[in-house]
């Protein structure tokens, strides 16, 4: 997988996502693969936006409403104008990370000298490699009561890549810490031809999809405790209704748009 993401002759899911969002940090190869996917599942463009917009709400929830002054975000993608650091009060420490070195390079260029905002290369399946970096230890200066975000990536992860980091982060974080988690792909109809084709295209460049049901996430994320009201669909999250989806979108992605989010606490 790493070989694929370093190689810019092959599409990368992160840069394809940037393309769906209308960004310009992507290559021709990403746009071609992205167009192939959008041809079979045009709803993915809206799906990507529903996912990305939630980050702005999460940034405010973490800082303005819950009072955290450190946000650690995994699998961040590009920190464009719609990302966390633009919605937090001045002085908040934001630590972004992603395993795609091209994303990291673009990200560092975007952030340049933005105070208190950092971007590191890290594979989310090894959060200890991020948290034990001397630079990160220095930034945190012992602060472990933190807000953690894992958003827009679960559908690409094996079970152990969710369960392992969830347990590690629970042990590492101080009581009172919070995790915002996005349960992607929860209602997908895996027999729907468009969904089958979407996964086939991603698999073609080495990015395997791992769809799972909502209830499976609860076990994978233990011992983090899901707060009331539990999983909220991204349509509800933004106050949208099903009228924003075409009939074929509802069939393929499920009536709630296919993605859910929740806050979990230690």
Ligand X SMILES: C[S@@+](CC[C@H](N)C(=O)[O-])C[C@H]1O[C@@H](n2cnc3c(N)ncnc32)[C@H](O)[C@@H]1O
Q: Which residues bind ligand X (CB under 6 A)?
A: 13-14, 17, 51-52, 55, 75-77, 98-100, 103, 123-125, 151-153, 156
Q: What is the 3-state secondary structure (H, E, C) of 174-226?
A: CCCCEEEEEECCCCCCCCCHHHHHHHHHHHHCCCCCCCCCHHHHHHHCCCCEE
Q: Could you tell me the smallest distance in angstroms from the CB atom of residue 157 to ligand X?
A: 6
Nearer to ligand X, 14 or 257 (CB): 14
Nearer to ligand X, 37 or 103 (CB): 103
Q: Could you tell me the smallest distance in angstroms from the CB atom of residue 162 to ligand X?
A: 10
Lookup: tokens for 137: 């230890």
Nearer to ligand X, 100 or 249 (CB): 100
Q: Could you tell me the smallest distance in angstroms from the CB atom of residue 55 to ligand X?
A: 6
Q: Could you tell me the smallest distance in angstroms from the CB atom of residue 175 to ligand X?
A: 26
Q: Could you tell me the smallest distance in angstroms from the CB atom of residue 198 to ligand X?
A: 14
Lookup: tokens for 15: 């840069």
Nearer to ligand X, 33 or 124 (CB): 124
Nearer to ligand X, 32 or 174 (CB): 32
Nearer to ligand X, 188 or 191 (CB): 188
- The Cα–Cα gap between 76 and 233 comes to 20
The CB density around residue 12, as the number of other CB atoms within 10 Å, is: 25
Q: Could you tell me the smallest distance in angstroms from the CB atom of residue 263 to ligand X?
A: 15
Coil, strand, or helix at residue 232? Answer: strand
Nearer to ligand X, 58 or 70 (CB): 58
Phi, psi torsion values for 147, nearest 5 degrees:
-105, 130
Quote the DSSP letter at residue 68.
-
Lookup: tokens for 245: 């989806």
204-238 as b/e: b if 16+ CB within 10 A: ebbbebebbebeebbebbeebebeeeebbbbbebe
Q: Could you tell me the smallest distance in angstroms from the CB atom of residue 66 to ligand X?
A: 19
Of the candidates 196, 64, 63, the one whose C-alpha atom is nearest the C-alpha of residue 73 is 63
């Amino acid at each position: 997988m790493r070989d694929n993401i370093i190689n810019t002759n092959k599409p990368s899911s992160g840069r394809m996502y940037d393309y769906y969002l209308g960004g310009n940090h992507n290559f021709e190869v990403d746009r071609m693969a992205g167009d192939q996917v959008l041809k079979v599942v045009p709803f993915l463009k809206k799906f990507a936006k529903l996912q990305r917009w939630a980050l702005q709400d999460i940034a405010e929830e973490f800082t303005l409403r819950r009072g955290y002054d450190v946000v650690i975000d995994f699998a961040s993608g590009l920190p464009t104008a719609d990302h966390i650091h633009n919605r937090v009060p001045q002085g908040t420490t934001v630590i972004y990370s992603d395993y795609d070195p091209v994303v990291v390079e673009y990200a560092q260029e975007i952030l340049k000298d933005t105070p208190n905002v950092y971007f590191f290369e890290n594979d989310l399946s090894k959060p200890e490699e991020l948290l034990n970096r001397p630079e990160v230890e220095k930034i945190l200066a012992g602060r472990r009561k933190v807000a953690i975000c894992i958003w827009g990536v679960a559908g690409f992860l094996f079970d152990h890549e969710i369960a392992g980091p969830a347990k590690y982060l629970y042990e590492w974080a101080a009581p009172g810490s919070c995790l915002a988690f996005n349960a992607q792909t929860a209602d997908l109809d895996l027999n729907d031809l468009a969904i089958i084709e979407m996964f086939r295209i991603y698999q073609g460049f080495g990015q395997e999809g791992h769809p799972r049901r909502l209830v499976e996430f609860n076990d994978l994320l233990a011992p983090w405790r899901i707060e009331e009201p539990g999983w909220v669909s991204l349509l509800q999250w933004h106050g949208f209704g099903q009228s924003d989806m075409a009939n074929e979108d509802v069939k393929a992605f499920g009536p709630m748009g296919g993605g859910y989010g929740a806050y979990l606490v230690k």
